[in-house]
């Protein structure tokens, strides 16, 4: 099923167009540039490129444009956020004397915790949230951009087409797909470093910061910040974590150097650092050095990037990493405390849901007990949750979310999470007031848990007191007690399972997320018939329109990849994409995971009217492999009439209840017949009948 969900990561999103207008170094407005046009039909773009560059590899132009557009419209790319705007200002400084290149490139943010950047042949530069969050000053950002701009100017994406993999890119994450599309050689990387340093020197940037960028790459597997994780962070007068749950010492951070680069497409970071040092020192800078034109402005940029990374870590279900990252940024910048506390509350909520749905034999459970290989203070967080049981994790999450909802009563996310956690504690774990003490743990009991080895680990089978027994003592003296008693009373006569499995009869207001169709040559799966896919996808969409309207199902929305409304905000596609992607990573949960819950809450509060009361999300698609007698991928109408051999068509549909995260329908079928309009109509009809009968 994860493979089917992965296909849906390419569901497409309509975004408003962004003109690549940037400010010059003096703060005056540069001349407007056309830049990359989000709403230009892919086939038109391809024909233009082939006409302007008749010698270009047509297969590469088609493949790269279709795959890139699917990514740009899929809800994972921010086209005009503050991070992208800052990058454009720095790029304008680098290209102040090269208006042609400045107008040809477009810089966007890819929502990913991966630390990377990519450049495409049509001038699109994608930089990940993970890389932005690690950049410490403007000069470092300038080197990243200068490196990517050099790739574009040297046409490396076009010249390395032979190195690309023909694997099914749609079964990969966004960073993996991009790495496969643009596999630059070691020589290209060194050339981009060399040209990038020259570009920085000409713009007057401080070259002493160049090699520090390689340190960011070297330690990209570590958290952005290293801050001591205090044991008393979650504690109050009643909630006291046993000393057994914390280490005396954590693993030190050890640099991991790769020495041999003969088998990869990139030179080692060590080699790039050495060459960069030589290039930096070989020619003196001809202009005054500076690091940032406005340090206060760049500090604001860093805070935004770090908050964005925290949200992204939650979207990727890296809840322990998100918790530590949020803790670290509020220790460094106290003014981000409200946003950081929300990230921590979401992380605790996500951990509690995962622990409640996993069984002892699951790989994910063993993952929660591993901590030995983690370096730095993040190991404290890993160790803590290796000691906390599933029920204890839920109690800790409830305690933190309830206190935050009291501090920030206007934030509906805290309220939503605390109510679901309260249901989990009382309905699933069946805890009542008798399971809790109204006093904190006795001091003498706490002392017994002191570690007796150098790492602070205690070898007792369990601590001398039950953490959860005392954890809610403080809250039970507040209005929490009434809400807790009300829930306990409810579950004395109701089933938790019945409550979370209930759904509307019949189903109403279904969001049909972009139908997906993929058509490939069975003998050569790398050959994808993009034009034919577009035609079939539009047919599929029309079939859903007709048959859902004919039944009792209300189809709320269906965002077509080729809908282009320049004045229409389509952020709901990004929000739904967050829900779907996180749902893939977390598996079956009792309630929506934190990023998905936040996305649904935002849709209800700020989304279009037809989405405010949406509860059900339908994801559907078709993959078809056929033997084509032609491999002419440029044809708008490939010779589908000359299909031969043994075709194979797979149909899949998943219906999700956004209210509780349940999968109501999971349909998958395979046909040995070629994909035809008749087959498509029949499948949609059968699917709609099943939905109406739920």
646 vs 631: CA distance, rounded Å:
17
Q: How far apart are CA 505 and CA 499, in angstroms?
A: 14
pLDDT top residue among 123 and 326:
326
Residue 156 has pLDDT above 60, yes or no: yes
Mean pLDDT (whole number) for 18-36? 44
Q: With a cut of 90, say whether residue 5 has pLDDT above it.
A: no
Looking at residue 461, the DSSP 8-state letter turns out to be S
CB atoms within 10 A of CB 415: 17
517/604: higher pLDDT: 517
Mean pLDDT of 221-237: 91
- pLDDT confidence tier of residue 92, bands split at 50, 70 and 90: very high
Other Cβ atoms within 10 Å of 166 Cβ, number:
12
More confident residue, 1 or 544: 544
Grade residue 174 by pLDDT with cuts at 50, 70 and 90.
low
Q: Is the pLDDT of residue 638 over 70?
A: no
Rg over CA atoms, the chain:
27
Tell me the C-alpha distance between 59 and 633, whole Å.
7
- Return the SS3 of 598: helix
Integer distance in angstroms from the first to the last C-alpha of the chain?
Answer: 21
- Percent of the chain scoring above 70 in pLDDT: 73
Pairing of strands 77-78, 106-110: antiparallel
Band of residue 213 on the pLDDT scale cut at 50, 70, 90: confident
Q: Is 519 exposed, middle or buried (0-12, 13-18, 19+ CB in 10 A)?
A: buried
98-112, 211-225, 323-337, 512-526: the lowest-pLDDT one:
512-526
Please state the separation of Cα 647 from the chain's center in Å.
35
* Residue 134 to residue 202: CA distance in whole angstroms: 25
pLDDT at 210 over 70: yes
Q: What is the chain's length?
A: 694
Q: Is 159 a residue whose pLDDT tops 60?
A: no
Tens-digit pLDDT profile for residues 286-322: 444 444 446 778 899 999 999 999 999 999 999 999 9
pLDDT at position 277 is 58
On whether the CB atoms of residues 83 and 301 are closer than 8 A, the answer is yes
CA-closest candidate to residue 136, choices 289, 298, 313: 298
pLDDT tens, residue by residue, 319-368? 999 999 999 999 999 999 999 999 999 999 999 999 998 766 565 555 77
Can you tell me the mean pLDDT for 505-514? 77
- Does residue 28 or residue 662 have the better pLDDT? 662
In the prediction, which pLDDT does 318 show? 94
Q: For residues 175, 177, 182 and 183, what is the CA-based torsion angle, rounded to 10 degrees?
A: 90
Which residue do the tokens 């740009």 mark?
Answer: 72
pLDDT at residue 172 in the model: 47
More confident residue, 511 or 366: 511
What pLDDT is recorded for position 564? 34
What average pLDDT does the chain have?
A: 77
pLDDT of residue 110: 92
Q: Which helix (H) or strand (E) holds 625?
A: strand 616-627
Residue 540: the pLDDT is 87
Lowest mean per-residue pLDDT among 74-88, 400-414, 432-446, 486-500: 432-446
Strand partners, 670: 650
pLDDT of residue 274: 54
| Alpha-helix runs per DSSP H in 408-491 | 412-423, 443-448, 467-471, 480-491
Q: Rounded distance, CA 518 to CA 528, Å? A: 7
At residue 691, the pLDDT reads 86
Average pLDDT over residues 212-226: 87
Sign of CA dihedral 451, 457, 461, 462: positive
pLDDT at 4: 34
What confidence tier does 216 reach under pLDDT thresholds 50, 70, 90? Answer: confident
Its sign, for the CA torsion 577, 583, 589, 594, is negative
Q: Over 50: is that where the pLDDT of 263 sits?
A: no
Look at residue 86 in the predicted model and tell me its pLDDT. Answer: 92
Question: What pLDDT does residue 611 have?
Answer: 67
């Amino acid at each position: 099923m994860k493979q089917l969900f992965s296909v849906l990561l390419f569901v497409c999103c309509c975004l408003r167009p962004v003109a690549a207008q940037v400010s010059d170094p003096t703060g005056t407005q540069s001349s407007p540039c056309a830049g990359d046009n989000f709403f230009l039909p892919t086939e038109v773009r391809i024909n233009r490129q082939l006409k302007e560059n008749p010698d270009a590899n047509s297969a590469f132009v088609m493949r790269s444009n279709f795959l890139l557009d699917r990514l740009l419209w899929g809800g994972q790319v921010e086209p005009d956020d503050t991070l992208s705007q800052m990058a454009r200002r720095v790029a304008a400084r680098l290209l102040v004397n090269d208006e042609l290149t400045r107008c040809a490139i477009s810089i966007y943010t890819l929502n990913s915790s991966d630390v990377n950047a990519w450049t495409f042949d049509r001038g699109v530069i994608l930089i990940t949230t993970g890389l932005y969050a690690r950049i410490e000053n403007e000069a470092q950002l300038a080197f990243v951009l200068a490196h990517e701009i050099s790739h574009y100017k040297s046409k490396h994406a076009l010249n390395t087409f032979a190195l690309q993999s023909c694997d099914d890119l749609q079964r990969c994450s966004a960073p993996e797909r991009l790495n496969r599309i643009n596999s630059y050689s070691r020589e290209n990387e060194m050339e981009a470093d060399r040209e990038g340093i020259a570009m920085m020197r000409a713009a007057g940037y401080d070259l002493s910061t160049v090699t520090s960028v390689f340190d960011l790459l070297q330690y990209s597997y570590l958290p952005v910040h290293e801050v001591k994780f205090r044991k008393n962070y979650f504690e109050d007068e009643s909630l006291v974590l046993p000393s057994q749950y914390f280490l005396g010492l954590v693993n030190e951070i050890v640099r991991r150097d790769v020495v041999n680069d003969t088998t990869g497409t990139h030179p080692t970071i060590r080699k790039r650092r050495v060459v960069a040092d030589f290039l930096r020192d070989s020619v003196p800078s001809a202009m005054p050095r500076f690091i940032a034109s406005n340090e206060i402005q760049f500090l604001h940029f860093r805070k935004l990037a770090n908050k964005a990374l925290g949200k992204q870590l939650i979207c990727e279900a890296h809840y322990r990493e998100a918790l530590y990252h949020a803790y670290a940024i509020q220790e460094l910048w106290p003014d981000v405390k409200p946003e950081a506390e929300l990230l921590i509350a979401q992380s605790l909520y996500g951990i509690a849901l995962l622990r409640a749905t996993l069984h002892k034999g699951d790989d994910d459970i063993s993952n929660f007990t591993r901590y030995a290989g983690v370096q730095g203070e993040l190991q404290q967080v890993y160790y803590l949750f290796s000691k906390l049981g599933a029920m204890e994790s839920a109690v800790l999450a409830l305690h933190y979310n309830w206190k935050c909802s009291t501090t920030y009563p206007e934030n509906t996310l805290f309220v939503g999470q605390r109510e679901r956690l309260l249901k989990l504690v009382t309905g699933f774990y069946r805890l009542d007031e008798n399971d809790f003490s109204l006093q904190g743990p006795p001091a003498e009991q706490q002392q017994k848990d002191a570690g007796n080895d150098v790492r602070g680990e205690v070898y007792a089978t369990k601590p001398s007191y039950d953490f959860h027994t005392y954890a809610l003592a403080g809250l039970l003296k507040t209005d929490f007690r009434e809400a807790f008693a009300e829930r306990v009373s409810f579950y004395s006569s109701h089933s938790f399972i019945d409550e979370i499995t209930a759904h509307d009869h019949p189903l109403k207001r279904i969001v049909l997320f972009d139908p997906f169709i993929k058509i490939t040559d069975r003998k050569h799966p790398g050959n994808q018939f993009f034009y034919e896919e577009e035609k079939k996808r539009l047919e599929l969409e029309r079939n859903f329109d007709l048959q859902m309207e004919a039944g009792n199902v209300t189809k709320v929305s269906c965002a077509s990849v080729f809908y282009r409304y320049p004045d229409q905000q389509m952020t709901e596609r990004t929000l739904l994409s967050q829900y779907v992607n996180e749902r893939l990573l977390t598996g079956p949960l009792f309630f929506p995971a934190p990023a998905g819950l936040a996305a649904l809450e935002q849709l209800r509060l700020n989304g279009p009217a037809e989405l405010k009361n949406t509860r059900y999300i339908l994801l559907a698609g078709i993959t078809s492999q056929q033997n084509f007698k032609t491999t002419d991928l440029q044809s708008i109408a490939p010779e589908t009439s000359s299909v031969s051999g043994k075709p194979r068509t797979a149909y899949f549909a998943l219906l999700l209840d956004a209210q509780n995260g349940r999968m109501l329908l999971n349909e998958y079928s395979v046909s040995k017949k070629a994909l035809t309009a008749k087959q498509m109509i029949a499948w949609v009809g059968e699917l709609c009948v099943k939905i109406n009968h739920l």
